[in-house]
């Protein structure tokens, strides 16, 4: 019997409660970013979306993670992107964090 997957909101709450971060969270975010990076059309579409709606793009990335079996929440995606040496990614992440 398949277990029900938590919603993105449930994952956000459970991963931030008392500083808990699932052990696979960092790995999932890195794997998800790598998979997205390997698809130039998807990468461009997400980047274009990020220019207009950065927080919506973060949510879309989380949905992709769910679809691909690499569940992450918004905070995990932000944490991973902040470790990248990619000015473009960091720029829209700053916007998504409220620096609009």
Q: How far apart are CA 77 and CA 96, in angstroms?
A: 11
Question: Is residue 73 in some structural domain?
Answer: yes
How big is the CA angle at 48 (ends 29 and 7), to the nearest 5 degrees?
A: 40
Domains of the chain: total: 1
Structural domain span for residue 80? 24-96
**pLDDT tens readout for residues 53-84:** 888 999 999 999 999 999 999 999 988 888 88
DSSP-assigned letter for residue 44: H
Average pLDDT of the chain is: 76
Q: How far apart are CA 51 and CA 73, in angstroms?
A: 20
Question: Is residue 7 in some structural domain?
Answer: no
Q: How far apart are CA 7 and CA 14, in angstroms?
A: 11
- Asked if residue 14 has pLDDT above 90, the reply is no
Q: Which residue has the higher pLDDT, 19 or 87?
A: 87
């Amino acid at each position: 019997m398949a277990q029900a997957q938590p919603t993105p909101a449930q994952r956000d709450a459970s991963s931030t409660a008392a500083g808990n971060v699932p052990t696979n969270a960092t790995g999932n975010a890195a794997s998800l970013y790598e998979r997205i990076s390997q698809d130039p059309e998807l990468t461009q579409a997400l980047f274009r979306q990020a220019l207009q709606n950065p927080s919506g793009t973060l949510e879309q990335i989380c949905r992709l993670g769910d679809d691909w079996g690499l569940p992450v929440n918004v905070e995990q995606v932000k944490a991973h992107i902040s470790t990248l040496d990619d000015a473009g990614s960091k720029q829209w992440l700053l916007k998504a964090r409220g620096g609009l």
